Amino acid sequence: MVDHLANTEINSQRIAAVENCFGASGQPLALPGRVLLGEGILTKECRKKPKPRIFFLFNDILVYGSIIINKRKYNSQHIIPLEDVTLETLPDTLQMKNRWMIKTSKKSFVVSAASLTERKEWISHLEECIKHLLMKTGRQPCREHAAPWIPDKATDICMRCTQTKFSTLTRRHHCRKCGFVVCADCSRQRFLMPRLSPKPLRVCNLCYRQLLAEKKEAEADQRQAEPIRSAIQGYEPSSGDDSDKSDDDKAEQWPADTEFYTSEVSWSSFHS
């Protein structure tokens, strides 16, 4: 179906319509070989509360944004390369059903569909696109994923010290490494995680100690490897007949069993 629709007029018109809905705030989406496969409204679990978001599935990217006027105006466009995506089905909660997690190296978040059938269709379409894209590029599936942020309402107290109670004056913060909701005293440190951002990010005290230990260990390994590399670089083969040289001359965690995650428009595919 992708090969059949690629570079066709109808596909170009559909992509242009999506670009038009995002307006000047969105990025251009038309590329040679890119095909728009379907769209739908999913509920995305955000920091404050679940919110409806419009999602567009292309054969190589997943695009989503906030709904201003459905089918006419969207903003806050996000573009996710499918080769960076891993999916994880989640159990239902009292608040949200038909849930799954979209995991990437930069951001991971939970979405839910209006029905179980819709969730199956979304996941099926996504997995098929991801499989074909990885086969085409020869890349391996992404193995490192950003931690999803636990919603603010999941806890009234800091998830690290378990003492500080949140209020209007006592703000909630999120650790960028583990995603826990923490107080200011438990998240005063910043750490550079290039995979997530070029700037140092807020992390909780526990993650900071772990990241610092990992950094020191990596630096120690690098120092140990330096003499070996120098010896290899300075090595001169003997002048004997068997020379290889030719003539031509590289601790603490929130309980794992605690549930933190719990749209009326069904999956809209352009082709049956």
Q: Are residues 205 and 124 in the same domain?
A: no
Tell me which residue range forms the domain holding 129: 9-145
Query: Whose structure tokens read 């230990």?
Result: 213
pTM above 0.85, yes or no: no
**CATH assignment of the domain containing 80:** 2.30.29.30
Rounded Cα–Cα distance for residues 244 and 59 (Å): 50
Query: Whose structure tokens read 């549930």?
Result: 259
Interval 228-252 mean pLDDT: 45
What confidence tier does 195 reach under pLDDT thresholds 50, 70, 90?
confident
Domain membership of residue 265 (yes or no) is no
Nearest Cα to Cα of residue 126 among 136, 118, 116? 118
- Tens of pLDDT, residue by residue over 40-64, are 999 999 988 999 999 999 999 999 9
What pLDDT is stored for residue 245 in this prediction? 40
Q: Are residues 126 and 24 in the same domain?
A: yes
DSSP β-ladder status, 189-191 and 201-203: antiparallel
Least confident range from 37-41, 91-95, 128-132: namely 91-95
Interval 181-201 mean pLDDT: 93
Return the DSSP state at 199.
S
**% the chain with pLDDT above 70:** 82
Return the DSSP state at 147.
P
What integer best gives the mean pLDDT of the chain?
84
What pLDDT is stored for residue 1 in this prediction? 60
> Could you tell me where the DSSP H helices lie in the chain?
2-5, 9-22, 116-137, 205-233
Domain membership of residue 271 (yes or no) is no
Evaluate whether 74 touches 29 at the Cβ level (below 8 Å).
no
In the chain, helix, strand, coil percent, each to 5? Answer: 30, 25, 45
Q: Are residues 119 and 39 in the same domain?
A: yes
Domain membership of residue 258 (yes or no) is no
Q: Are residues 60 and 127 in the same domain?
A: yes
What pLDDT is stored for residue 90 in this prediction? 95
- Tens of pLDDT, residue by residue over 60-76, are 999 999 999 999 999 99
Nearest Cα to Cα of residue 183 among 193, 191, 171? 171
**For residue 219, is pLDDT > 90?**
no
- Tens of pLDDT, residue by residue over 136-152, are 888 888 888 899 999 99
What confidence tier does 224 reach under pLDDT thresholds 50, 70, 90?
confident
Higher pLDDT, 232 or 194: 194
